[in-house]
Amino acid sequence: MKKTLIALSLAGAFAAAGAASAAEVQVYGLVDLSLAYVHSDADASGVDNVDKFTMENAREFGSRFGIKGMEDLGNGYKVGFVLENGFKADDGTLDQGGDLFGREAHLDLYSPYGTLTFGVMPVFGSTLGANGLFRSIDPLFANYTEGFGSGLITASSWTRVDNAVSYVTPTFAGFTGYAQYSFKNDARTGSVEGKSSSDRYASLAMRYQGGAFEGIIVADTTMYGSSRQDSQDLDNGYTVTIGGNYTFDNGLKLLAFGQWFDTMELSRARGRGGVISHGLENFKEVGDYGFVSGYGLSIGANYPLGGGVIKGQIGYRDMDNSDDPRDVVDADFTKWMAAIGYDYPLSKRTAVYVMGGYSQEKIETKNEDRTPSGCELVMGMVHRF
C-alpha cells in the first residue's frame, strides 16, 4: 500500500512538472500599408503650400512582427513574454529608432493577485498592447495620420516606455486598477537609469466595464531629468484623462474624453504637430510647441454599416507655453479637428479602410497671429497573421 502511494505521489509530481514546463509559443504580426494624400498650408507669406501623395506604412495600426508565449506554473500562476518588433512595411526598415524589439519586450507574471510586467511596454495612455486604455476613448484609431487623430488634440505620449514595471489588479465588480513606473523612459539617452538625471515616468489608472458602458481615468507624470537644460526651473509634466464609451442596442457607440495637462513637452519633430508642423516651422517667432499646459476634448461615434464600421470624430485643444522655462516667446495654441473613416473586413484577418480629416490651429503671440491648417485622405489595407 505504501509503495502504491509513493508511486502515485511521484507520478503526480512528474505530471505537475510536465504541465509546468509545457509552454505555448506563438508567432504573430500585422502589416498595414496605405496610400495617403496630405495638404498643408503654413499661412505664412512667401511660403508655398505642401501637397504630397505617398505610400505610407501604418496609418491605422503599426506594422509588426512578434513572438509571445505562456507557461502555466500551476496554482493560478503563469509566466508569459512578448517580443514585438516594429517595422516600416513600405521600405522594410526598422521602426522605433531601429530597436529590434522596440514595440514591446517584457516578461509577465500572472497570479490570482494580479499581473506584474517588466521591460519595454506601452503606457496605459495609449491604444497599444494589452493595456492601452485609450482604445476605449479613441473613435478612429488614426494612430499615424498627419491631418487628424486623437494624438493631435492631447498632450499624452501615446507610446511606450523602457525600463518599466507595471501592475494590473484583478477585476472586482467591474473595476480594474493599473500602476506603472519607468526608471528611464528612453534607453537611447545618455543619462543614468534610476537617477534624477534621467526622464522618468509614472502612471495610475482605473477602468470600469459594466454592461454597455466602459469608463477610464488615466493620470501620469513625466519627471524630467536634471541633465536637461534649464531643468532646475522645469516642473514635472502631468496629464489627467477621463473618458469612456457607451454602446446602444442598435450598435451605435459613442466615445468621448477630456484631458487636462500641465508642462508637457510637445515637439513637431516627433510628429505631434501633424500638418500644422509646416506652419510651426515657418513661424520663426515660435518654431515649436515647447512645454505646454492646457486641455483637450473629443467626441466621436462608431456605427455598423454595410458590413463594416463608419467612424467619426470632432476634437478641440487649447494650450499655451507660458510655463516653458526656456527663453521662448509666449504663445497660445487653439486647434480643432474633424475626421471620418470607414473600416471594412474582407475576412477575419484582412480589412480595408479609408479615412479623411482636417485640422486647423490658431497660433497667437503678442506680435502676430497665424492659422496654419491641413487635411489628409488615406486608404489602406491591414492584414494580420
Query: What's the mean pLDDT in 179-197?
Result: 88
CB 112 within 8 A of CB 79: no
Structural contact between residues 293 and 262, judged by C-beta atoms closer than 8 angstroms: yes
Whether the CB-CB separation of 309 and 343 falls below 8 Å is answered with yes
Q: What is the pLDDT of residues 129-187, one digit of tens each?
A: 999 999 999 999 998 999 999 999 999 999 999 999 999 999 999 999 999 999 999 88
Place of cell 506604412: 57
DSSP structure class, residue 280: H
Percentage of residues in the chain with pLDDT exceeding 70? 93
Q: Please tell me the pTM assigned to this model.
A: 0.91
pLDDT tens digits, one per residue of 138-152 = 999 998 999 999 999
Q: Would you state the cell numbers that stand for residue 206, as one nine-digit string?
A: 482605473
Nearest to 128 by CA among 104, 156, 94: 104
Identify the band that residue 188 occupies on the pLDDT scale cut at 50, 70 and 90.
confident
Q: Taking residues 309-317, what's their average pLDDT?
A: 98
Instruction: Give the pLDDT confidence score for residue 5 in this predicted structure.
Output: 39
> Angle at the Cα of 262 (from 122 to 125), degrees rounded to 5?
20
Specify the DSSP class assigned to residue 208: E
23-384 carries CATH number 2.70.98.40 = no
State how far the Cα of 319 lies from the Cα of 241, in Å rounded to an integer: 15
Per-residue exposure over 240-255, b if at least 16 CB sit within 10 Å of its own CB, e if not: bbebbbeeeeeeebeb
Residue (of 320, 312, 364) closest to 337 by Cα position = 312
Name the amino acid, one letter, at 371: T
